[in-house]
Chains A and B, each alone.
Chain A
Amino acid sequence: EDQVTQSPEALRLQEGESSSLNCSYTVSGLRGLFWYRQDPGKGPEFLFTLYSAGEEKEKERLKATLTKKESFLHITAPKPEDSATYLCAAHSGGAQKLVFGQGTRLTINP
């Protein structure tokens, strides 16, 4: 069964304290790994797509990486405005659908 698991469920950091969010996946025939940001009361906002192991993408303080079993979202020197829930999703080639993880709720304290 296709599955995506994110950890931790929640993470609280001080402003400037770097860390990483984890996304473990088991899907048949990965066609793409997606990261989204979701603010309270809003829909998910697309951040990155990764297609193959070893690939990296960066945007401001965020960097996403991909291995054959996991993806990491590294956040460097975060600011309070980076507080949000971060979702990862794997596109299963076998099932032709997007499988979402449950998200990591990130809080950055000033």
Chain B
Amino acid sequence: NAGVTQTPKFQVLKTGQSMTLQCAQDMNHNSMYWYRQDPGMGLRLIYYSASEGTTDKGEVPNGYNVSRLNKREFSLRLESAAPSQTSVYFCASSGQARTEPQHFGDGTRLSIL
């Protein structure tokens, strides 16, 4: 049972570099989400995709872009990384109803120097 798979698990970037975080789910879920988790801040929603072909901004979208490649995959891109984007990034997915529980991957730990 793979569930939600995120790659890479760790990454170190220099300020100004770009990178894409990958996420794939095998639960046939319609909705997918990207969160960041910072000490003392809790989980904050960056972007979400309610279904294939749609994406919407969450609480902290600035500096990020997303692509819902197909039903399984949802990627997060940092075009020009900044030290403030140092964080742990989690991808999640959920079923059709918005009140269904979200299931999370194990995260990508990203450091921006």
Contacts and interface: CB of A to CB of B under 8 A. Distances in A.
A4 B43 CA distance: 11
A16 B55 CA distance: 46
B107 A43 contact: yes
B98 A43 contact: no
Nearest to A103: B42
Interface residues of B, number: 21
A46 B42 contact: no
Contacts of B106: 41-43
Interface string B18-57: 0000000000000000000000111111001000000000
B99 A43 contact: no
Interface in B45-75: 45, 48, 58-59
Contacts of B45: 97-98
A55 interface: no
Contact of B101 (A43, A49, A96, A103): A49
A44 interface: yes
Contacts of A51: 99
Contacts of B40: 102
A42 to B, nearest CB: 5
A46 B101 contact: yes
6 contacts: A31-B98, A43-B105, A87-B42, A91-B98, A98-B45, A100-B44
Interface of A: 4, 31-32, 34, 36, 41-46, 49, 51, 87, 89, 91, 96-98, 100-103
> 9 nearest interchain CB pairs?
A43-B104, A100-B43, A32-B99, A102-B42, A46-B101, A100-B42, A31-B99, A43-B106, A44-B104
